[in-house]
Structure 1
Amino acid sequence: MVDGTSRPVDLGEAVGLLTAARQVVLLAHVNPDADALGSALALGLALHRRGAEVQVSFGAPERPAESLRDLDVDGLVVPADRVVGAPELLVVLDTGSVDRLGPLADRATTAGTTLVIDHHVSNEGFGTHYYIDPRADATAVMVLHLLDAMGATVDLPTAQCLYAGLVTDTRNFRAASPDTHAMAARLLVAGVDAEAVTRPLLDTHPFSWLGMLSSVLATATLEVDEARGLGLVHALIRRDLVSGGRQDEVESVIDVLRTTAEAEAALVLKQVGEHRWTASMRSKGRIDVAAAASALGGGGHRVASGFTLDGDAPDILDRVRRALADAPLLG
């Protein structure tokens, strides 16, 4: 819900807030993907080179996924417990709701100014200012527009951060618009090695991942009558597998599950506490999983979303079934 003190801003106003600040904290959502962290780092690099004091962080886990660590060429990422308590400007990127900041959610109220930059259709705006464009394929798209408006140089480190964001949120450009393809071409011209960026994100797994995947897929269940008769496939990742695996390996399970031919919607429940679960949801384009996730306190894209809930897995699954039964059909 939009806070009474929040207001939307356009590109020019967002640039004004960014360029005026001398101290900036940029936050991604918990368990950041390449769009969230890449966007924060790309914008952070530009502001750092303008002379601002910059920190980039996220509420959990303690470190970025291994596949994302090479993006932080200037060492801007700091642990959550080192984030400034009351920054002059807080920039929240690719985050659909303040709850998705986890233990850093309080910074949205302690900061002098909070600017939200996001492309999720479920984001209704929070902070003091918000710049939201659901038409953008990725938050990285919006950040590149901001960098251009700031007159910032899109050098190779910046281009790599942005390209990683595009790869992740467009499913390796399968869901990219012509404008986004053109943007990717521009980043390639800047020197990005597409294979070097993409392989760690999509095509590299340790041998142990195969065992984890086998265990999880053994729990998979297909319910062909759910999701408004379009089919739901779901699986559970228990706490021992979540804590024992790399974050990016755990997050990759949904991309395997969603390939199930008989199901339009896919769900992976990941146990992160005794009674706490985070969820990843995917749609093939016929049902709005962002609406379903929003009904459960989360959000995201129409075809990729998530939420966090406390409770027992069977009860949460029942809530997901009800949310999908009420979710709008697309197209």
Structure 2
Amino acid sequence: MEEALSLCMARIRDAAAAGTPLRIRGGGSKDFLGEPAQGELLDTRGLAGIRSYEPSELVVTVGAGTPLADLEAVLAGQGQRLAFEPPHFGGGATVGGMVAAGLSGPSRASVGAVRDFILGLSIVNGRGELLSFGSQVMKNVAGYDVSRLMAGALGTLGLIVEVSLKVLPRAPAEATLKFELPQAEALRRLNAWGGQPLPLDASCWLQEAGVSTLYLRLRGAHAAVEAACRSLGGERQDDARVPDDWRLCRDQLLPWFGDRAGRDLWRLSVPQTAPVLDLPEAPLVEWHGGQRWVAAQPGEGERLRRIAQDAGGHATLFRAGAGSAGVPRFHPLQPPLGRVHRELKASFDPAGILNRGRLYPG
């Protein structure tokens, strides 16, 4: 890993001196996310390997090029997990890509996002300098938390070298309940359940073949899960089958995602308490109402962004169809926030060579 790091640092220094943009890429599983990055390829897969792992301390430090599946397998061997369930979107997903994309899976609303589990990390900035932030303890966080700033930056602020993550034990018990409910009633129940001492972990509402269904996953102590199953009702699903179903939801492999037929896939992030929205068709709803996936025809993006904004959220063009070339992927920033973005980019990458254009065109 040290040799690969030295090569990456030298490559970035040379590119900065020449003003040559670099396109940072690990396994390429999230190449679809964001705007197309400009520049020559800088492959991160040489920055691989678990640097340290203390199961008793619930901390792992791992190279950015490490396959995500390898890390999860090591954690599973110790009865531990990445609680935020990062999506893979393909077999090549890496730890660095996981952090850079900042995406979380079905458990996000209950346990937190990727950034909430980052204890520290090292990056190479746009000057070719190796910088380290944070540590391996949560209480070390003070002042401006640069480590968590890298989550979702899509490599525009620096090449992630390694990251220290908080991990959690696997829950002793788990159950998934099924309810046939219209969207409004599903949202009402999710909001009500959220105010009760229930071991809620994940939820997914969708409509298929005219049937509206809410799936609710519970995780926690055996007694708590069993008591919740008795009090909530619903149809308990086969414990042996549902882990695969939640994985398919996490990686957008459910039939609902495959039936887009060339349409755009939009992600609406709204408050969990937002009501049923006036969307082109019934969405797939996750995160207890906070994340709503919408399949839409090209040209509907502006309307979807207005709907999300009116609900107190924002909309992202997550996967673009052939007819949406030139449509901005991310919700336009308000001027004050746009200024902060530009100033951060100028500070970390003054020559503007790292993943140029990946977040916003230009």
Fold shared by both chains (TM-score > 0.5): no
Which of these two proteins has the greater Rg computed from alpha carbons?
A: 2
Q: Which has the higher contact order (CA 8 A, sep 6+)?
A: 2
Structure in which a larger fraction of residues adopt strand:
2
Higher helix share: 1
TM-score w.r.t. length of structure 1 = 0.31
TM-score, structure 2 normalization: 0.29
